[in-house]
Amino acid sequence: MTIGVRHDDLRKRNRAMVIAAVRRSGQPSRTEIASATELSHSTISAISSDLINEGILAEAKSEATATKRGRPQVGLCLNPDAGVVLAIVLSLNSLSATMIDYSGTAIAQDISRPATLSMGKAELIEVVLAAARRLIERPDLAEKRLLRIALGIQGITDSDARRLMWTPITPEGDIDFADALEEAFGIPVTVQNDCNMIAVALRNRAPERYSDNFIAVLLSNGIGMGLVLRGELFTGSHSSGGEFGHMIHMPDGALCRCGRLGCIEAYAGNYAIFRHARGEGERAKPAADIDDATMLALAAAARDHEGRERDAFHKAGEAIGFGLGSLFALIDPAPVAIVGLGASAFDIIEPSIREAIAKTAGGQHNAAISFDLEPDEAPLIREGCARQALTFVDQEIFAPGQAMQALAGREVA
């Protein structure tokens, strides 16, 4: 907020605004863009003409129903050939790389299953680089202009979106993926927390439901959270932040995977539910991974009869509910999306969650708090990464300051 606004920033911002309008609404006409951005028709005309000449936008050739009188509107769309981005998703024993064209369509994918738990830093970096290379060097894709790579990873990343600071998928921490990938491919790279990418994807999918304030909670072996406040992705000051799973539910309580006691995750993570259902103590060593079938069987048992399984899910709901209640005390109640395998057992835990929330500051709005379920997190993470990467391209590469514009224009035209 210290730096003044220069004259060339004006065009830069308005270009970005036009691109954003097109990305948001499919095939808006120039007139629609003008009214959406509140800029004059002349300005929109000038900017879109530039963008079309530079190969960023294109006129949509839909021989549509010209039912109205008057000159028909010409829809503008993103030119798919303007470039591509790479969305890479790394989680426990699973790696996917997806190439997405500028219009947002996935055009190629590479999926592999590396044994991440037994890999060191260098090995993990190498496996990611290899997956990216397999796609980038494919003969039919070699001509594409790669503009950006976004990496979504399970774990804590730094606030500059460059390093993985801690992760459950390998014993090693502090892995500088961005440096490694940038050196290998020579384009900007971001490294971000998977739950944050889920939040981005949700907003992208259903902007009417997830807009200004909402919470995405990932229930799997660990508990993750992506938080959007006032329309912006919330991150910590140093890290990706939003470590909902490591808020304290019960001081000096159950043993968490992070080594501390009483975290929400130590009650609501898959390993915690599993541990409790098996009758192991609260301080028993957390399992590194529990397969989906086992968790689904536990859920089925909990639905079927009273007993330790049901009790375990109840404890999980209680921890999540009190945690959400504390969170609501800080940020006010907001819509919640429950993502991941836990969503398929949500019918069992929802009553305990609501019961706990009712005992907290968010309690009076309990009825108004809605939970949406998204059992499959992988596509969401991929979508979020793609979207983040494309937004960067929109704002930083295709709407640059004046100096860069000359260069970029020459290159594209």
- In angstroms, the Cα distances linking 196 to 46, 152, 155, 336 are 36, 9, 11, 14
Q: Which amino acid is at 323?
A: G
Identify whether the C-beta of residue 381 lies closer than 8 Å to the C-beta of residue 201: yes
Which one of 278, 283, 303, 359 is in contact with a second copy (CB under 8 A)? 359
Give 43 or 159: the residue with its C-beta nearer to DNA: 43
Minimum CB separation of residue 90 from a second copy in Å reads 23
Cα–Cα dist 149/408, whole Å? 19
The H-or-E segment that residue 151 falls in is: strand 146-153
Q: Which range, of 48-56, 74-82, 85-93, 354-362, touches a second copy by CB under 8 A?
A: 354-362
Q: Does 154 bind DNA (CB under 7 A)?
A: no
Find all residues with CB under 8 Å of 157, minimum gap 6, and list them.
163, 164, 165, 191, 192, 193, 239, 240
Site string for DNA, 35-74 (x = CB under 7 A): ---xxxxxx-xxxxx----------------x-xxxxxxx
DSSP per-residue string spanning 201-212: HHHHH-TTTSSS
SS3 call for 389? helix
Give 78 or 263: the residue with its C-beta nearer to a second copy: 263
Q: Does 11 bind DNA (CB under 7 A)?
A: yes
Minimum CB separation of residue 37 from DNA in Å reads 9
Sign of torsion over alpha carbons 110, 111, 113, 116: positive
Question: Which entry of a second copy, DNA, none binds 69, CB below 5 to 8 A by partner kind?
Answer: DNA
Q: Which range, of 61-69, 89-97, 356-364, 384-392, touches a second copy by CB under 8 A?
A: 356-364
Q: Which range, of 54-62, 107-115, 252-260, 386-394, touches a second copy by CB under 8 A?
A: 252-260
Closest CA to 341 of 299, 396, 312: 299
The H-or-E segment that residue 400 falls in is: none
Which residues in this chain contact DNA in the complex, by CB under 7 A? 4-8, 10-11, 14, 29-31, 38-43, 45-49, 66, 68-74, 402
Which residues in this chain contact a second copy in the complex, by CB under 8 A? 1-7, 9-10, 13-14, 17, 20-21, 36-39, 43, 159, 212-213, 229-231, 236-239, 241-244, 246-252, 258, 260-263, 318, 322, 325-327, 329-334, 356, 359-361, 363
